[in-house]
Amino acid sequence: MAVHDLWYLSTPGPDGEKVKSGKYGRGKRWRVRYVDAAGQTRDKVFQRKKDAEDFDLAARVGTAAEVKLDQGERNVTFAAYVDRWRLARNIGWALETRRRIESNVRRHLVPEFGNRLVRSITQTDVLLWLAERLGAGVPQSSLRLYFELFDAIMATAVTDKAIPRQPV
């Protein structure tokens, strides 16, 4: 993350002076690259250098709206989040799908991750859970379904800005 001048090239000319870029005099001049709350690299351009520097500082500190996680979701448990996730999607699912997803969540995901904060679940936790289930004789095809369900829940948590990125 840094402030870049779009009107001049970063390498000086042969005599040491600034070289105009193809964008010289057109559009906004200053660009800031930052990583948003979902972990994606983004660009934002500004007319004034001061505005770009202020945004760059806010993005680095985590106070810019574009990079800020939802503080209301900061202390939500996996069980509470997954209940809201499931209820928000019930309208589009067939009855059998609702029953299957509710059962898979209740029997396979909540016992392992239910009391944990969503943001505290790590990749190692997920891989350990998968390894334990495989060791207990859970069929790979079933385990794949449980993992894909978990992955969909965590992807939505990233979109909702409850977590900065998925654990897997």
pLDDT for 91: 80
- Spatial separation of the C-alpha atoms in residues 90 and 140, rounded to whole Å: 26
Domain ranges within the chain, ordered by starting residue: 3-68, 72-159
CA–CA distances in Å: residue 57 to residues 40, 63, 126: 18, 9, 34
Find where tokens 């009107």 sit.
7
Of 168 and 69, which is predicted with more confidence? 168
Q: Report pLDDT digits (tens) over 142-163.
A: 999 999 999 999 998 888 777 7
For 72-159, the fitting CATH number among 1.10.3720.10, 3.40.50.2000, 1.10.150.130, 3.30.379.10 is 1.10.150.130
Q: Report pLDDT digits (tens) over 71-114.
A: 556 678 899 999 988 888 878 788 888 899 999 999 999 999 99
pLDDT for 76: 84
